[in-house]
Amino acid sequence: MKLAFICTGNSARSQMAEAYAEYFLNLYKKNVKVYSAGANPEKEINPLVIKIMKEEGIDLSNKRPKGLEEIPLRELDLIITLCDQAEKTCPFIPGIKRIHWSLPDPAKLKGEEEEVLFYLRKIREEIKTRVKELIENL
């Protein structure tokens, strides 16, 4: 099985989802290949996302945003879009199951760093919970 998490920039939500999927796949010893990509990838992963994932023992500092053309879209069994924009722009591929999770965009969070980190952690926990449930049910 192959699955991909798709969002707009591949700099936050989809990177977190891919990392948690890899973690839970390893934990539950499931043989699934996981990818993430963005319809319009950013230049780098959001530094605050790197920071909050390190709190979980997950290092994203060596990762980079990828575009849809960098993953095997036509070979996927499941695509999970993580934002409303990605749901609209992700190409429809017959035979590939799609799930949509409408999650807030971390790039739109404004305020002092601690306030932004608070909301990023909430998004992180929602992604972690959803990915864990997804992987358990594969």
Active site residue 31: no
Active site residue 126: no
CA angle at residue 35 from 10 to 82, to 5 degrees?
50
Q: What is the largest CA-CA distance in the chain?
A: 45
| Catalytic-labelled residue, pool 34, 60, 90, 103 | 90
CA distance 48 to 34: 23
User: How far is residue 60 CA from its own chain's centroid?
Assistant: 12
User: How far is residue 85 CA from its own chain's centroid?
Assistant: 14
| Catalytic-labelled residue, pool 3, 4, 6, 7 | 7
| Catalytic-labelled residue, pool 19, 83, 96, 123 | 83
Q: Which residues contact 100 (CB under 8 A, 6 or more apart)?
A: 80, 81, 87
Active site residue 99: no
Strands 33-38 and 2-7, bridge-based pairing: parallel
Residue numbers annotated as active site: 7, 83, 90
